[in-house]
Chain A
Amino acid sequence: MVRFQNVGMRYGMGPEVLRDVSFELPPGSFHFLTGPSGAGKSTLLKLLYLAERPTRGMISLLGEDPTLLPRRRLPVLRRRIGVVFQDFRLLPHLTALENVALPLRIAGGREEEIVAHVRELLTWVGLGDRMEARPPTLSGGEQQRVAIARAVIGRPSLLLADEPTGNVDAEMGLRLLRLFVELNKLGTTVLVATHDRALIRSAERPVLRLDHGELSRPGREAA
């Protein structure tokens, strides 16, 4: 599903923020990615959702080498990847419903199906009564749930979440985690970047730990 081999990454002329990163996510797996602030978690995810290119090393993603794909073929690959951005990146002038529907509309789905599907999911994440609200009028936690709904609406093969529970209380955090687990059971490969130790403990999934751009001992988080 995903394989990194000796991947290095630097922003412009800056220092390497990822060094010799090698790991593999088998299809259908569920991993956490953790590490101190500035360790490079978001950067690693950017390589996975094709917002940045590695400066060295090899990446294999959903059976493709993204560095070799022509630009016009990237959208189809990206539609198979759901992303929850650390800063949400919702479109402020669209309603919650329109934001969540966007990936389906871009991919060209049937309008009635899209709306029914989006309503169902927003209700599931507890936003049934906020569907017509615009993101600036939503709380941080509500915006986060809209962002998560947008990431999972297209049933991605790979789900990448960057601090998806940073703005919600513990109970809602567990509820959202359950959404990821459900999706994982349906076959989606999941990678969740988080500082939240309680969340990591509760899920009992393998953990990748980044420190200063280097990956250390993959394994389970010690309790």
Chain B
Amino acid sequence: MGRSVLGLRRSLAARLLPALIGIMIFIGLLALAAALAVDRAVESWSRNIDLGLTATLPDTAGAKVDAVVGMLRTTPGVAAARRVPQSEVATLLAPWLGSAAAAADLPLPVLIDIRLDPAIAIDQGALGAKIARMAEGARLDSHRDWIDQAVRLGRSLQAVAFLAVCLIAAAVAAVVIVSVRAGLAVEHDTIELLHLIGAQDGFIAAEFQEVVTRFAGIGGVIGTALALGAIMLLADLFGAAGATPLPKLGLGLQGWLALAGFVLAAILLARWVARLTVMLALRRMV
């Protein structure tokens, strides 16, 4: 049929529904993008950290350093061990001590960077104790505590983001229910007439469903455009802050597909809720 039988485009709070759905899709996309980015970041942190250890020796260790490096290189499970040059250590500590650290002849610790062979498990406790025996005051640091904390924070952020996505779905449903109910009230007499001339409930529900789908689609396009803009901007800011210890944030193909799926799911949800609301309400009519 060329024209909608009910004047729904006017009565469904026409300007408001696309805007509201657009806003919710925008927020939902940001929350979802954040959750996905954190997920990838956490994964890459734990992968990298699992492959590396750092041994810290006091600056007084002297010749013991070479002995420790030699011992490490012959330990099964260690792929490589390398003394970090003192100039690099100074650079690493510069943010905390200032660049004058080296010049000031401060006692800098000796760092040994250890790469692990992922195929062979090693007993870090035993290895740490062995190093401490060889050089007094030496520690083996796996960054595990730090990373565990970061992972826990990341997972919490993710849980909050997914909760937000669920709440947004509920809000989309609620907005659709409210505006469809309003439309049903405004069009009560017309709907009664349609019934009296032989319309099935499904015919009337289809009218609502089409209009709501179109409005949700408009909202989806607007919300997606805004969200893409915001995500690009954030990605740029993260990219610019290259000096931070933050890993590169990205979504990957799967992430982008998930975002598209979210928009599609929101539109289909609006469509389905519209139909259900109409069908339930019409059961009480003539």
| Chain A CB within 10 Å, residue with most, of B197, B201, B283 | B197
The verdict on B195 contacting chain A, using a C-beta distance below 8 Å, is yes
The verdict on B156 contacting chain A, using a C-beta distance below 8 Å, is no
Beta-carbon contact of B286 and A51 below 8 Å: yes
Question: Chain A interface: which of B1-9, B94-102, B122-130, B140-148?
Answer: B1-9
Residues of A within 8 A of B197 (CB): 78-79, 83, 102-103, 106, 150
| Chain B CB within 10 Å, residue with most, of A51, A94, A106 | A106
- Which secondary structure dominates chain A's binding surface? helix
How many whole Å from B68's CB to the nearest CB in chain A? 84
Assign chain B's interface to a size class: 10 to 19
Residues of A within 8 A of B196 (CB): 49-51, 78, 83
Residues of A within 8 A of B190 (CB): 91
Residues of A within 8 A of B193 (CB): 89, 91
A-B Cβ contacts below 8 A, count = 48
CA distance A105 to B198 in the complex (A): 10
* Number of residues on chain A facing chain B (CB within 8 A): 23
How many whole Å from A2's CB to the nearest CB in chain B? 17
How many whole Å from A207's CB to the nearest CB in chain B? 26
Beta-carbon contact of A93 and B200 below 8 Å: no
Q: Which residues 46-104 in A have Cβ within 8 Å of B in the complex?
A: 49-52, 71-72, 74-76, 78-79, 83, 89, 91, 93-94, 98, 102-103
Residues of B within 8 A of A83 (CB): 196-197
How many whole Å from A144's CB to the nearest CB in chain B? 16
CA distance A79 to B203 in the complex (A): 14
CA distance A49 to B286 in the complex (A): 11
Beta-carbon contact of B5 and A91 below 8 Å: yes
Beta-carbon contact of B195 and A75 below 8 Å: yes
CB nearest neighbor in A for B198: A79
The verdict on A107 contacting chain B, using a C-beta distance below 8 Å, is yes
The verdict on B258 contacting chain A, using a C-beta distance below 8 Å, is no
How many whole Å from A87's CB to the nearest CB in chain B? 10
CA distance A72 to B1 in the complex (A): 23
12 A-B contact pairs sorted by A residue (CB < 8 Å): A50-B286, A51-B196, A72-B200, A75-B199, A75-B200, A76-B198, A78-B197, A89-B189, A91-B5, A94-B3, A102-B194, A106-B203
Residues of B within 8 A of A106 (CB): 194, 197-199, 203
**Which of B5, B195, B203, B283 contacts A94, CB < 8 Å?**
B5
Report, nearest first, the 10 A-B pairs whose CB atoms are least far apart: A79-B198, A78-B198, A75-B198, A103-B197, A106-B199, A93-B7, A75-B200, A89-B193, A106-B198, A51-B286
The verdict on B192 contacting chain A, using a C-beta distance below 8 Å, is yes
Beta-carbon contact of B1 and A51 below 8 Å: no
Beta-carbon contact of A71 and B198 below 8 Å: no
Residues of B within 8 A of A89 (CB): 189, 193
How many whole Å from A99's CB to the nearest CB in chain B? 10
CB nearest neighbor in B for A106: B199
Residues of A within 8 A of B286 (CB): 50-52
Residues of B within 8 A of A91 (CB): 5, 190, 193
CB nearest neighbor in A for B4: A93
User: CB-CB contacts of B1-20 with A at 8 A, as 1s and 0s?
Assistant: 10101010000000000000
Residues of B within 8 A of A52 (CB): 286
Residues of B within 8 A of A74 (CB): 195
| A-B contact sample (8 more), CB < 8 A, given A72-B200, A78-B198 | A52-B286, A75-B200, A76-B198, A79-B198, A98-B3, A102-B197, A105-B1, A106-B194
CB nearest neighbor in A for B199: A106
Residues of A within 8 A of B200 (CB): 72, 75
CB nearest neighbor in A for B190: A91
How many whole Å from B16's CB to the nearest CB in chain A? 20
Residues of A within 8 A of B203 (CB): 106
Residues of B within 8 A of A72 (CB): 200-201
Residues of B within 8 A of A105 (CB): 1
CA distance A181 to B259 in the complex (A): 65
